[in-house]
Amino acid sequence: MNHVYLLPIEPMPTRYSVEWLGWFKSAMGQQGIPYTVVDPNVAQTDQGAAAFSSPFVACEYRARQLAELSRLLAVHPASSSPVVFAMDGWFPGIESIAMLRDLGGLKIKLVGIFHGGLWDDHDFLQGKVGEWANKFEQSALEAFDTIILASEHHRLMIYNQDMGDEQKTKVVRFPVMEPPAPNATAKEKIVLWPHRISAEKNPQLFTTLEKLFREKYADQVKFIRTRDVCATKGDYHALLERAKVCVSTAEQETFGISMLEAANFGCAPICPNDLSYPEFIEPRFLYDGLAQAVDLIAKYLNEPANPRPYAGSTSLEWLSEVLC
């Protein structure tokens, strides 16, 4: 099997990047895939509740990854075909690996996971980057040999805009934390909003939902934005164990890790009947309009939700097929 050079996302403990690296390494080991993690030692400043890494940290991290990867590929046996696997395909500079593939005499296979892009009208980059970014995305989609996505919703967004080669795309099951072992924690009348506090996630609609709920239902319920109270992933998971309901108001979602985690912790995952959610969330938890969302919140605060778990994905069964 070909050797894989794994390019992780810069680690942020409050997001999924640290867990993902562990799961991918474990899965590759179990599947007998030889690999090297290209993970430079870049000092992380305190990001607090930031949604993403500082652009300065991200640029330094990825520049060092490219420098180290170039060194490794320069001494890689010319007779083999290495795989470069980027855990985030939106990686300015990745075209340098395509240049090594084209000019360096190595049959490099370039594989990348895409989590979002400017093809999404609600992507957080909209209005923040110049025209170069649209051209970069087109170049990146052409440079990669395999493009990995989590949902048909995301695939259609890209290819309805005639970007890249649809035949290179694979929709797979992204990893999510496995359902925890049952414990004695009693569920409470808590409604969570689990997203980063960003415009595309509509935090103001959660405030509106609480107002509408309290106007219609005289019930002692806590409405909590998790980013306001959770300093660590451990804090977040402890809150999921206690809560009965978790609600999304997102306008951008290409997968939905937070809502699938909520379902795995037994919370009713109340989501818009839109975006990627219908691919993963049971129809009984989907809403059309805030009035329906309010009624669903009330319903599952007062009766067991028993959501279908999203389980077994950390084994990443698709890796061998994609990387071979």
pLDDT one-digit tens code per residue, 214-243: 999 977 899 999 999 998 889 999 999 999
Give the long-range contacts of residues 122-130, CB within 8 A, separation 24 or more: 122/200, 122/251, 122/252, 123/200, 123/252, 124/51, 124/52, 124/198, 124/199, 124/200, 124/252
pLDDT one-digit tens code per residue, 116-173: 999 999 998 999 999 999 999 999 999 999 999 999 999 999 988 777 678 899 999 9
Q: Are 2 and 32 in contact (CB under 8 A)?
A: no
Three-point CA angle 61, 165, 137, nearest 5°? 35
Beta-carbon contacts of 19 under 8 Å, excluding residues fewer than 6 positions away, are 175, 177, 233
* Position 256, amino acid: G
CATH number of 188-301: 3.40.50.2000
The model carries a pTM of 0.92
Q: What span, in angstroms and rounded, lies between the C-alpha atoms of 244 and 221?
A: 10
User: What pLDDT is stored for residue 91 in this prediction?
Assistant: 95
Mean pLDDT value of segment 206-215: 96
Angle between helices 55-74 and 95-103 (to 10 degrees): 10
Q: Cite the DSSP H helix spans in 31-168.
A: 55-74, 95-103, 131-143, 152-159
Q: What span, in angstroms and rounded, lies between the C-alpha atoms of 46 and 51?
A: 12
Question: Residue 202: left (phi > 0), alpha (psi -120 to 50), or beta?
Answer: left
Q: What span, in angstroms and rounded, lies between the C-alpha atoms of 294 and 289?
A: 9
- How many residues are there in the chain? 324
Beta-carbon contacts of 169 under 8 Å, excluding residues fewer than 6 positions away, are 146, 147, 148, 149, 155, 158, 159
Q: Across the strands, what pairs with 271?
A: 286
- DSSP states along 179-212: PPPP-SPPPEEEEEE-S-S-GGG-HHHHHHHHHH
- Computed over every residue of the chain, the mean pLDDT equals 91
Domain with CATH 3.40.50.2000 in the chain: 4-176+313-323, 188-301
CATH number of 4-176+313-323: 3.40.50.2000
Query: What is the band of 45 on the pLDDT scale with cuts at 50, 70, 90?
Result: very low
Q: What span, in angstroms and rounded, lies between the C-alpha atoms of 88 and 109?
A: 15
Quote the tokens at residue 125: 């980059």
Q: What span, in angstroms and rounded, lies between the C-alpha atoms of 298 and 291?
A: 11
Closest alpha carbon to 143 in 114, 120, 112: 112
What percent of the chain lies above the pLDDT cut of 90? 74
User: What pLDDT is stored for residue 164 in this prediction?
Assistant: 67
